[in-house]
Amino acid sequence: MKKISLWIALLMMGCATPTLAQINEEETVEVTNYQGKKENIELPASMTQELDSLMNLYNAKMHLKADSDCNLPDVNPVYDQEVYKERLAHLPTIIEMPYNDIVQKFIDRYSSDLRRKVAYMLGAQNFYMSTFEEALEAYDLPLELKYLPVIESGLNPKAVSRAKAVGLWQFMLPTAKRYGLTINSLVDERRDIIKASYAAAHYLSDLYKIFGDWNLVIAAYNCGPEKINKSIHRLKGEKDYWKIYSLLPKETRGYVPAFIAANYIMNYYCEHNICPLSADLPAKTDTIMLDRDVHFEQIAHVIGIDIEQLEDLNPQYRRNIVNGSSKLSALRLPADLVNVFIDNEEAVYAFNPKNYVPKRKEAGPTDGGTYVVHNNQVVRIENPNSHAASASATDGNLVTTVMDGNENDATERKTTTATSRSIASRKSRSSSKRSRSSKSKKRTARSKNVTIKNGDTLSEIAERHHTTVSKLRKLNGIKGNSIRAGKKIKVK
């Protein structure tokens, strides 16, 4: 019902605008360039995605609603060019926001055809902007860069481009890995809002060190620094974005104007009669560090949380599996469910593990034979205690079966006992090494004591020292959650 009423509100806002299908069919915009010639440049992908994909996001369904106090008429006023110039000039920004015909085209697109999407983004920004700003502040970057995800993804955390860029900041895989984001079959940290935001800020900081101009930095974020450098080289070192404009890829020609227009519309939406969707901020959350694999279904069944909410809070897990056995992994939960999980952690892991985390630690042939690799072939050594093997061994040979890829084609061959001895010797050495390694690990795994600080919780101490709450409890004989500041606690 909430989703239906939200759609009705959005449709009323945009009743005078073209349909969503018509908007999405347009992937270019006609502009007049600096030479006075008309050209078509590509729109950023975020300006062509359907609104339906945004309204189906968990946060949109659960926390966005039409603002009943906003009664602006659904009319997009037209202003003189001087008005747009003055408004852009008055934005509190470090980055240059010049006005021209190309920027005007993008302002028109946001304020007319995309006004419903702007209403969504004005509401959705409440979920993300504080994280963006904190990341940008950490690298001392202009805060207006927080609107880059508006043109990158349309504030869609699940966005995937045709080029396979992922997440709010639309990282390509090589760049993401270069900036420390983990990507494998189970995890894609490009979807992690916090980690991706800090990686993006780091990348933008590095780009500014290269170009020293924010418009070039923004362009390079879109198409890569190599293409920007080529354009600069062709104009003998010219570093003005608008002078190298005609040498840039078509999608990048529209990127900086779209960024300027996004800054404009996210600040001057009222002047264009756009009512932002109202946002009810989600409940406070906290993280728990896990050292075992667990599926979202196991968590949901035991502690009573919605799967969609788990996916929204933990978007980095591609298969809904927290892979704690690989390395300590964070699980984000509503704050009021953190202790519920801690108290029922063993029950969570014990709930149908074969159905949800079925990966076996060890597996092999079940026929009782011993298999080795010899001369790049899999060799089955017959039971050395059998009569046939003993008879062969007296002749200096051991009967083996060589598996040629098909069990029906298995052929018996003779291999010398020297080979068997060599294999046995290698196994013995390997076993000895494992034994020494195990003893070494036991020696280094001694526990250490830390002092509990004011305000500390078991969850915070566990995260700080890369362990789990359940381990802290076992190590210190703690039954509940109460700990006292100033006391010592064992952490390993």
Q: Give the gyration radius of the chain's Cα atoms.
A: 31
For residue 292, count other CB atoms closer than 10 A to its CB: 16
The H-or-E segment that residue 449 falls in is strand 449-451
The H-or-E segment that residue 489 falls in is strand 488-490
| Whether residue 386 has pLDDT greater than 60 | no
Which of 226, 225, 216 has its CA nearest to residue 256?
A: 216
Contact predicate 402/378, CB 8 Å: yes
Residue 152 a catalytic site member: yes
Higher-pLDDT residue of 166, 410: 166
| Whether residue 275 has pLDDT greater than 90 | yes
The mean pLDDT value for 25-32 works out to: 74
**How far is 230 from 12, CA to CA, in rounded Å?**
47
243 Cα distance to chain centroid: 36
Query: How does DSSP classify residue 450?
Result: E
Beta bridge partners of 377: 374
Among the ranges given (39-43, 191-195, 269-273), the one the predictor scored with the smallest mean pLDDT: 39-43
> For the chain, what is the total number of helices (H) and then of strands (E)?
24, 14
Check 27, 30, 96, 152 and give the catalytic one. Answer: 152
| pLDDT tens digits along 123-163 | 999 999 999 999 999 999 999 999 999 999 999 999 999 89
| Whether residue 116 has pLDDT greater than 50 | yes
Q: Counting every residue, how long is the chain?
A: 492
Confidence at residue 11, expressed as pLDDT on a 0 to 100 scale: 46
Confidence at residue 286, expressed as pLDDT on a 0 to 100 scale: 95
| pLDDT tens digits along 180-213 | 999 999 999 999 999 999 999 999 999 999 999 9
Confidence at residue 34, expressed as pLDDT on a 0 to 100 scale: 64
Q: Report angle CA 273, 276, 280 to the nearest 5 degrees.
A: 160
Confidence at residue 393, expressed as pLDDT on a 0 to 100 scale: 42
Contact predicate 25/43, CB 8 Å: no
Confidence at residue 409, expressed as pLDDT on a 0 to 100 scale: 47
The mean pLDDT value for 409-416 works out to: 46
Model confidence at 12, pLDDT cuts 50, 70, 90, reads very low
Among the ranges given (390-394, 424-428, 446-450), the one the predictor scored with the smallest mean pLDDT: 390-394
| pLDDT tens digits along 460-487 | 888 888 888 888 888 888 887 778 888 8
Confidence at residue 207, expressed as pLDDT on a 0 to 100 scale: 98
| pLDDT tens digits along 56-71 | 999 999 999 999 899 9
Higher-pLDDT residue of 400, 481: 481
Model confidence at 75, pLDDT cuts 50, 70, 90, reads very high
The H-or-E segment that residue 111 falls in is helix 101-111
**How far is 459 from 207, CA to CA, in rounded Å?**
37
% helix / strand / coil in the chain, to the nearest 5?
50, 15, 35
| Whether residue 249 has pLDDT greater than 60 | yes
- The set of residues, in sequence order, having a beta carbon less than 8 Å from that of 133 and lying 6+ positions away, is 143, 146
| pLDDT tens digits along 343-367 | 999 999 999 998 998 777 788 787 7
* Contacts by residues 48-52 (CB-CB < 8 Å, ≥ 24 positions apart): 48/23, 48/24, 49/24, 49/154, 49/156, 49/159, 50/20, 50/24, 51/10, 51/20, 51/116, 51/117, 51/120, 52/20
Confidence at residue 16, expressed as pLDDT on a 0 to 100 scale: 35
* Contacts by residues 125-133 (CB-CB < 8 Å, ≥ 24 positions apart): 125/155, 125/266, 126/279, 126/281, 127/59, 127/63, 127/279, 127/281, 127/282, 128/155, 128/157, 128/168, 128/193, 131/193, 131/194, 131/197, 132/197
Give the tokens for residue 326. 């690989």
| Whether residue 330 has pLDDT greater than 60 | yes
Helical H runs in 225-289? 225-234, 241-244, 250-253, 255-267
Beta bridge partners of 188: 183
Give the tokens for residue 370. 């011993």
The mean pLDDT value for 223-245 works out to: 94
Model confidence at 435, pLDDT cuts 50, 70, 90, reads low
pTM of the model: 0.75
Contact predicate 169/148, CB 8 Å: yes
Task: Name the burial class of residue 52, with classes exposed (0-12), middle (13-18) and buried (19+) by CB atoms within 10 angstroms of its CB.
Answer: exposed
Mean of all residue pLDDT scores within the chain: 84
Confidence at residue 426, expressed as pLDDT on a 0 to 100 scale: 56
**How far is 215 from 239, CA to CA, in rounded Å?**
10
